[in-house]
Chains A and B, each alone.
Chain A
Amino acid sequence: MSERRGVEVRLENLVRRYGTVTALDGLSLTLAPGELVALLGPSGCGKTTALRLLAGLEEADGGRVVIGGDDVTGLPANKRNIGMVFQAYSLFPHMVAWENVAFGLQMRRVGLAERKKRALEVLELVGLEKFANRYANQMSGGQQQRVALARALAIQPQVLLLDEPLSALDAKVRSRLRDEIRRVQLEVGITTLFVTHDQEEALAIADRVGVMQAGKLEQLGPPTLVYSRPATPFVADFVGLTNRMEGTVRRGSVEVRGQTIPLVHPEAADGPAIALVRPEAVSIEGNGEAAQGPLVGTVIAVAFLGAVSRVTVDLGDTTVLAQLPTSAASEHPAGSKVRLTLRPDPVLIQREEPAATAS
């Protein structure tokens, strides 16, 4: 890996309004040099707006953007030295791949020979040197996005912005290109902000994941932490699947169907609550044919997901998702009686009306 040349990026209390709608409501976020942060959230949560404000493609109504210690809030996009890959295919159709990659260098008055040499070098970095003379319409979607990545990197930007660059690609290409982006990002060592609504993508690629809702950052942390210790019920709900199970809080734990589970926030007041339990914290213990109890139910569906399977169990008054290794799940076909156990991993609670379904 080459020496990291990333810079620190700070978004300070950014506000952006569209008429009466507040897209960003005081967003603050700091990216360490060379770090890849993924902003994750549902449509309209403000993640793309944050990225566009950082790129200079939109103006903030309040707050500051600081890159490498310099306040660039008032700078137009073409003066910020930021590379960006867009969701839509954005290669210039009238240029071949190397000309696209060299465009930014041309804007920086780099001579033809030098910019062609550098363009080919960056194309090699993304493994597309053989496609240098192809037009956009002669390449697949994945190849176009790799050229777009090369184009963004060719100008040696201080920051790389990725605005859902994989969303138009099919699953296999998406997964491959995701790894490719991470490899290149680590190799170049550039500070990167990656915006996506795909949680798997965000968790797989990022050093830290920021989950946004309604223009605010709900949680920012390493993927494992965001997944296993969600800071808010929204994060728990949005990142990964969650079983919402009725329970009762008592002295820092929640009692769910006869089992006691510790709380992430043990200071919670006693009383009824909804426990948010991950499917992988639910396991199926043996055959439940002869058993009775609140966690005995009937398998109503088994979804094969490759190495793991998701088993939906009907407990009578609610359904619960359990995620098991496929080999274990195959022992419990639809219609079989099973007994569930809940692993005592700390959980979040909600004080809302019970929804009693997996979400």
Chain B
Amino acid sequence: MKLAKIAFRNIRRNRRRSLLSGTAIAVATMAITFLFSYIAGFIGDYETNVVRYVTGHVRVRNIEYDENEQLNPLHLSVANYDEVIRELESEQGVVAAVPRTRFFTAIYRNDQTYGGVGLGVDFEREKQMMKIQDSLEQGSLPQAGQRQMLLSDGLAEELDLEVGERLTLLTKNKYMGMSGMTFTVTGIVRFQVAGFNESFFLMPIDTAARFLKMDNEATEVLVMLEDAKLVDAYAEKAAGIMSSLGRDELSVLAWTKVGMIYGLIRYAQNIYDIFALVFFLLASTVIINTTMMVIYERMREIGTVAAMGMTPREIVRLFFLEAFYIGAIAAFVGVLIGMGITIPLSRIGIDLSGAMEGVSLEIGSIIYPQLNIRSTVFVFFYATIIASLASLIPSRRAAKIEPVEALRSV
């Protein structure tokens, strides 16, 4: 109890020294908080985009569709998707279940052929999922059943098309025959995902069905959940529902098992964890260094208190407490400043869009750093512990020296 008091008094007495070692710890903590938030933002962004745009949390497809995906086998579809969605939605914790039909087209314009990827969607349901309304740059959403479409701004630019103009598409329909249809462009969207901006366009799913000669069919049904952690449990339940409906031709897949997307995320995470580790090491050496410096500089003081009868164990504890207090306060301040930098950035975002054009990954153009337990609470404890432990190295050595020696030291 008395030691704690002395420790506090020491910290206040050597104000400059405490401040210097405190700043080192605070800056190191702040940098780590920011870095972790940045990484979390980067990866979290990638995850949400993949889920919203590509895989959903759970994906339902025809079993054979996957094997032939690149060939765009429209006949291997999810038939009667209304029923499938109704059943999927009846479960707890579902944010949205949406049908999508993906198809490839050739676009003829100004004597040139362009490739485009079409997506038939249910615009009403997508409000929860892809949130197209937020990415709409000009114009309005197409009406269900009308021959209307939305263009991604990359495609619109390439085709030199504006809202209100008409466009003819050619595609292979469900029966492998050719179909053509003319659409009015009702709006232009700028997707959050750079890869989608290159070649995607959207149309109402019933229009797409007519165009592709499909009939209440979608190539896939995606489900988004409130809680991403429940994906596996939900996928199992959904598979049960499908088989109870007698729909054995459908496969239900959690997004973590779709292709290599999740592998890529893990890969990125690993690389960033290595960066974080390097950072930790550097920050630790800075913290250890300043703490050691502070104690070694006070040899004479240690000699004095030792000469006055303080036992070596008490000396070690005293310095440990001092380092602990400084460490805790500085780490707290550091995390606070780190949060102070991160929170506004997590709203505004760090804009990489100029640099991300032409990137076909599902990474958004703007990175929003995210605070989480790891980047705040964990970092706080980490810094406090490192600082306290670092005091042990010099103080244990100092406590062992004879008081006379310590008094004579410079």
Q: Do A and B bind each other?
A: no
Give residues in B with beta carbon < 8 Å to A.
none
